[in-house]
Amino acid sequence: MEFRFLLAAVGLLTVGTAQANENSNENETTTIAPVQIEEVTVTAAKTGHNLSMQPISATVLDTEILDAEHITAIKNVSSLAPNFYAPDYGSRTTSSIYVRGLGARIDHPVVGLNVDNVPVLSKDAYDIETMDIERMEILRGPQSTLYGRNTMGGLINIYTLSPLTYQGTRIGLEYGNGNTGRYRASHYARLNDRLGLSIGGYYSHSSGFFENLYTAKKCDWQRGGGGRFKLQYYHDGLHIENTFAMSGVKQGGYPYIAVGASHVDYNDPCGYQRLALNDGLTIRKSWRNLTLTSITSYQYLDDELRLDNDFTPEPFFTLTQARKEHALTEDIVLAGKSGRYHWLAGAFGFYRHADVHAPVTMGDAFFHSVMPPQAPSLAWENSALTVQSRFSVPTYGAALYHESKWTLNRWELAAGVRVDYEAAELDYRNLADAVYSMTMPRPGIPPVPGELHYNSPGRIKQDFLQVLPRITAAYRFHRPFDHVIYASVSEGHKAGGFNTQMFSEIVQQEIMSQMMNSDITLHASDVITYKPEQSWNYEIGTHLSGHLCTSLENRIWMGASPDAPTSGWNIDASVFYIDVRNQQLTVFPEGQTTGRMMTNAGRSRSFGAEVSGSLRLLADCLHHRSELELTAAYGYTNATFLKYTSGANDYKGNYVPYAPRHTVSASATYRIPLNHNHRSVLALRVGTNGAGRIYWDEANTIKQSFYALLDASVRFERPMWSVELWAKNATDTKYNVFYFVSMGNSFLQHGLPRTFGVSFNLNI
């Protein structure tokens, strides 16, 4: 069954590949929809622009496909790139991404994110809307040699429009069911030959789709907005770019439904709000054979999370987490060339400091559920016990890296290495002062009053030193085809960290021990820290692209002129094997617990394959040149534990949870000119994307089977404006995106139902 998806994808991708002409363009980028990017548009300091000629697995999305798919955030890309899965669950603080069996739900990401070359350090800020995206690159496989920590699964590069190459005003309006809307406006101006600026903003809202039975209101409502100001200067090899961006969001959240129930049903208010500020300064100076780039950033994050941790109508357990975080980064890159030898060297450093206030409230129902049957019952003065928890988490790191490339006729050989050091500290203090009464289980004994005074401070430090090598070899086929075959071996690294959310369990046991003179079974030293994750990635792949013969076009498509744009195709394919040590897994401890924690599996391995591509055909329809474009992507991942024992359970041979076995996407777009000068175009599009099977636990007892969602749109385009009717999950397919256990109860989150709406875009 697993190979049926692969056969279907290969069948679609190989249509028309039997013919190719000798006019293949070596500079054409392998993308879902090809795009030409000028050097001044994108300051690509490390990877370059033409990923189709490099030994790397990558999906590149240009403006056309980003607009067609309504992509404004990373989670919208889920399944479009093979073996890339970014489910939309929980709230905007949850930015889980899974690539090739690797992933992370909390703490450090497995995929890095750069916006205009500036790294986003906090995974909790990944789920932001970005307007006017010119190009998005999704690189799969370890990028640790050049980009360092937390890129062992890959890297996402987002580049926004440049005021030096685009001028004008852009307005976008979108409205759909669920009272969902998004409105944006931006202006790009070139003040002179050297200086350009842009300014823009957006606002979005949604009333939500899931009702909380307890409140009789939608729980997943949200409102958000933001803006960006960019200033660019370019003259005589000097490129200076400063981008300031801000975003804010306020939302409900967590539409979690108990397994077997039909509605969300919890009593305590849940929600998330965030303010994020980022300023990035890029200075690049180019000489004949040398380029020096400096990328400096300041990042600020202020957010607050409110959570009903038991997700039931009873007053069990609530959590609030308020955080303020400051971060500074500096990356200096020096690149040069001498004949057939190219080299790159750099130094990177960062400092990040977070202050977190996380009060936990445990209600009477919570203590009733955790007390032994014959134990005394507790009654708190305010019907609940609140524990104040404060954390200070400073983190800093530095790295040196180098890469050399040699071109030997058709061969390109490269080797690189990075030395990465990181240190982190957790200073914590847990406080509680409360009045209670204790009632003995025997009748006739009056309640015994008592007072609780709890104070538990501590400090934990960790540091890590990693050496991250990478070796690649690529062989290029010259005309008539534009082909590359490559092989790579690289090491990936994800930093270790602290399980701050487990303090609720530790505090509960310490308080019960103080009050009831009982034993403590959970100690901070056992669960608060987790180790770094490392991987070795072995990969073989190919990039293929070309054009269909003009003579073939003329035979099949009526009257195509010799100087008309030619039809084209491209295919990317790769196979990989990943050996993972100390894989970080998010688990929910067994029993009546509410915490979640990161732990390390002893060893796991992942292998699989990816194939993606596009085919564009030009035709004459009623004497007007029309265009048909087909795209498809398929990824297969088999990720299992080689060594993982948790308590009395041995999970060896089981599949790694949360990572889908298959990811599939396909689309067909037919563009029909409505007049001779092509100023009016009707674009019809249908597409599908799917994922599965996904196991939700290490025991592989709960799973989501493969599912596919159908999308469709009709778009009328004019040179300055367009209007589109669209639908997502048009068949209203039922599926789940998340499963977990809390307080011994199991919960699911359903995927979004059918959504539909209308979009209007104006460019003047």
pLDDT tens digits, 432-473? 888 888 777 777 778 888 888 888 888 889 999 999 999 999
Tokens 């790769």 — which residue?
574
Mean pLDDT for the chain?
84
Separation of alpha carbons 24 and 658, rounded Å? 41
Comparing 42-51, 211-220, 347-356, 666-675, the range with the smallest average pLDDT is: 42-51
End-to-end Cα distance, the chain: 50
- Tens digits of per-residue pLDDT, 733-743? 999 999 988 87
- Tens digits of per-residue pLDDT, 609-637? 999 999 988 876 445 678 899 999 999 99
Instruction: Tell me: pLDDT of 560 over 50.
Output: no
Q: 70: pLDDT confidence band, cut at 50, 70 and 90?
A: confident
Instruction: Quote the Cα angle for 733-735-738, to 5°.
Output: 155
**Mean pLDDT for the stretch of residues 683-712:** 94
Comparing 279-283, 296-300, 451-455, 524-528, the range with the smallest average pLDDT is: 524-528
**What stretches of 43-132 adopt beta strand conformation (E)?**
57-62, 84-85, 97-99, 102-104, 111-115, 118-119
Q: What domains are there in the chain, each with its CATH number?
A: 2-763 (2.40.170.20)
- Tens digits of per-residue pLDDT, 400-423? 999 999 999 889 999 999 999 999
**Mean pLDDT for the stretch of residues 639-658:** 87
pLDDT score recorded for residue 179: 96
- Classify the C-alpha dihedral 209-213-216-220 as positive or negative: negative
pLDDT score recorded for residue 496: 85
Q: Which residues contact 595 (CB under 8 A, 6 or more apart)?
A: 499, 501, 502, 503, 504, 505, 588, 589
Which tokens in the block code for residue 290? 């040398």
Instruction: Tell me: pLDDT of 204 over 70.
Output: yes
pLDDT score recorded for residue 173: 96
Q: Which residues of 162-185 are buried (b: 16+ CB within 10 A; e: fewer)?
A: bbbbbeeebbbebebebebebebb
Contact yes or no for 708/731 (Cβ under 8 A): no
Q: Which residues of 304-321 are buried (b: 16+ CB within 10 A; e: fewer)?
A: bbbbbbbbbebbbbbbeb
**What stretches of 384-512 adopt beta strand conformation (E)?**
384-408, 411-439, 448-477, 483-494, 497-498
pLDDT score recorded for residue 26: 36
Instruction: Tell me: pLDDT of 555 over 80.
Output: no
Contact yes or no for 701/588 (Cβ under 8 A): no
Contact yes or no for 663/82 (Cβ under 8 A): yes
Residues of the chain with pLDDT > 90, as a percent, come to 53
Q: How many CB atoms lie within 10 A of CB 258?
A: 17
**Mean pLDDT for the stretch of residues 696-709:** 93
Whole-structure pTM value: 0.86
**Mean pLDDT for the stretch of residues 497-520:** 70
pLDDT score recorded for residue 330: 97
